[in-house]
Amino acid sequence: MSPKITFVGAGSVVFTQGLLADLFAYPELDGVHISLHDIDPERLATALGAARRIAAVRGVKPVFTASLDRREALTGADFVVNIVQIGMGAATRTDFEVPARYGVRQTIGDTLGIGGIFRALRTFPFLAELGRDIAEVCPEAWLLNYTNPMAMNVQYLSEATGLTRVVGLCHSVYWTVHGLAALVGVPFEEVTYVAAGVNHQAWVLRLEHGGTDLYPRLRELAASDEQLRRRVRFDMFRRLGYYPTETSEHSAEYVPWYLGHPSEVERLRLPIGAYLEIVAENEAEYERTRLAVAADGPLPVEGTEEYAPQIVHSLVTGTPRTVYGNVVNRGLIENLPSGGTVEVPCLVDGTGVRPTRIGALPPQLAAVNRTYLSVNDLVVRAALEDDPRHLRHAAMIDPATAAALPVERIFELCDDLVRAHGDRLQPGLRVTLGS
């Protein structure tokens, strides 16, 4: 029997299209049941129209269903792909505009920082409901999460819902190594690599071509190319000894060294508010897709190299492969906190998804990751214990926020964001505490 794959938040149409294009490229998955769910009727209809168009172009005949009722869409699912964004672009703009009035600079704001904290807190109530529904109507399903902040969400799902078949997926490791291979002039397919750490702040621990370590070549490039040195990732690489697995725009937000200093913002060419441009482009791309579907016009049908389709294919067919997954740390990285979310290689085949034990990270890398995980844990504690103080504690510990503001202003900022997000937060966290 063909598997059922439910897309929750299918109205994120462009991302849904890419994942479906990848799924439909596997002949073994022809006839798969694609169940689409969104709470926005127009976006759901657009997603369904786009999905049918992609299937026709690919020459496959899946079963399609679409429902505004989440439980109906989930019933009997074998895989659940979560791509929900609570509050959409309006909430994201709030995450940038309110802190900006306090002088807090952000570039992406979806993983850590004050923006990541509040994105998590407005996502957790939805995740609790999603977890309950999965437990009741498709308890054996694998939940493949793409929604950020990835590490906070996976930890919360583990502690609040008890679900065990949860893997957080992100393309940062794959595309980082892809870019490094191009930079040093070797084919990506011939590179051997291992990365580990936390989402958006993992580290390339091993990078080899034909048994030769590629790090000396990277160090030569960093020393000789002034433009490379003017990127946060290369600055961190030079000082910590290992290359981080996310863009400079992301990486700058998870440490206290860059965004709080105008000279560093200029030296490292950091685009403040960059994610707002991405949000605007995503909204425009959705509108283009909606119009194309309505007019029966052409749509791009391009693969994404994302991990979710690969995991589905491996679990259904037994084909072994390695992907990078975000999972709960149960001895996988021994010098990072147990129970936090770590990003490690995972072996996937017909028996399941099995994370790889890494051992200990180099101490300087673990030290940086531990601060990140401390913020995550406090945000999760705030939600699980319904304790608004822990929300403030998380902001106090957050590297970029703490580097930008004295503690009184951090409390005032949290109060303003609580007011701004209102009923998107769980009731116990909607209180203001003052400075």
**Residues marked as binding?**
148, 170, 200
Considering all CA atoms of the chain, what is the largest pairwise distance in Å, rounded to the nearest integer?
61
Among residues 372, 337, 326, which one has the least CA distance to residue 173? 326
Residues making up the chain, counted from first to last: 435
Kindly provide the residue ranges of all beta strands, DSSP E only, lying in 74-190, ordered along the sequence.
79-82, 142-145, 166-169
Binding site for substrate, residues? 148
What whole-number distance in Å separates Cα of residue 124 and Cα of residue 376? 13
Cα dist. 152→174, 346, 383 in Å? 21, 19, 11
Binding site for Mn(2+), residues? 170, 200
Cα dist. 392→340, 389, 415, 420 in Å? 19, 5, 9, 16
Is-contact 336 315, C-beta < 8 A?
no
Kindly provide the residue ranges of all beta strands, DSSP E only, lying in 269-365, ordered along the sequence.
321-328, 341-349, 352-355
Amino acid at 420: A
Using DSSP's 3-state secondary structure scheme, residue 4 falls into: strand
171 is catalytic: yes
Is-contact 341 199, C-beta < 8 A?
yes
**Strand pairing of 191-198 and 201-209?**
antiparallel
What whole-number distance in Å separates Cα of residue 35 and Cα of residue 269? 43
Among residues 82, 104, 116, which one has the least CA distance to residue 9? 82
Which residue is catalytic, options 33, 171, 178, 261?
171
**Strand pairing of 341-349 and 321-328?**
antiparallel
With 0-12 / 13-18 / 19 or more C-beta atoms within 10 angstroms meaning exposed / middle / buried, residue 72 is middle
Is-contact 401 395, C-beta < 8 A?
yes
Is-contact 329 341, C-beta < 8 A?
yes
What whole-number distance in Å separates Cα of residue 59 and Cα of residue 388? 52
**Catalytic residue list:** 171
